Amino acid sequence: MPWWGWMIFGAFLLGSELLAIDAAFYLVFIGIAAILTGLVGLIGLELEFWAQWLLFAGLSLFAMVLFRKQLYQKIRGGGVGFDASPVGDTLKLEQSLQSGDSCRMAHRGTTWTILNNGSETMDKGSNVRVTSVEGLTLVISPSITNNIEAGE
């Protein structure tokens, strides 16, 4: 394939990934490999047809294995320090919970099972803190603000 064919192929792959198809950056690195293969032909290094495809495949695999994951995480990953876990959130109880009891309650746009894993009863309207998540269950404990208000 002539060098300009590789360049067009690479530009098509890059444009497809960036404008139309979300292929998790695979097409970006395949497109870059095609452009690099075209640049080899542009500088005057004439390779056999099979050698061009071998170079293209090698560059594609090399780039994807070494760089794709890191670049994808930087561009598409969550923000630095972002934690989607509800651990540490404060809730206001809608009903009293005895030790070991559970109830259903809305939080963050969905309904969770709330479990009182402590040794004391938590009253309706008290603030509680999510200490852990066990599947679809939020394990709670009394909030520090409740302890301060109670004089503890």
Sequence letter at residue 87: V
Q: How far is Cα 7 from Cα 38, in angstroms, rounded to an integer?
A: 5
Residue after which a domain boundary falls, among 49, 76, 103? 76
Residues 94 and 29 both lie in one domain: no
Residues 124 and 65 both lie in one domain: no
Residue after which a domain boundary falls, among 47, 76, 105? 76
More confident residue, 39 or 142: 39
Task: Read off the tokens for 1.
Answer: 């394939």
Q: How many domains in the chain?
A: 2
85 is a domain residue: no
pLDDT at site 24: 76
Residues 21 and 71 both lie in one domain: yes
Q: What share of the chain in percent tops pLDDT 90?
A: 33
Residue 12 predicted with pLDDT over 60 = yes
Residues 70 and 107 both lie in one domain: no
Residues 76-110: pLDDT tens digits?
766 666 667 888 888 899 989 888 898 999 888 88
82 is a domain residue: no
CATH assignment of the domain containing 114: 2.40.50.140
Give me the chain's average pLDDT, please. Answer: 85
23 is a domain residue: yes
Q: Quick one: three-class SS letters along the chain? A: CCHHHHHHHHHHHHHHHHHHCCCCCHHHHHHHHHHHHHHHHHCCCCCCHHHHHHHHHHHHHHHHHHHHHHHHHHHHCCCCCCCCCCCCCEEECCCCECCCCEEEEEECCEEEEEEECCCCCECCCCEEEEEEEECCEEEEEECHHHHHHCCC
Which pTM value belongs to this model?
A: 0.50
Q: What share of the chain in percent tops pLDDT 70?
A: 89
Domain enclosing residue 123, as ranges: 90-149
Residues 15 and 57 both lie in one domain: yes
pLDDT at site 29: 87
84 is a domain residue: no
CA dist 29 to 76, 109, 117, Å?
16, 38, 50
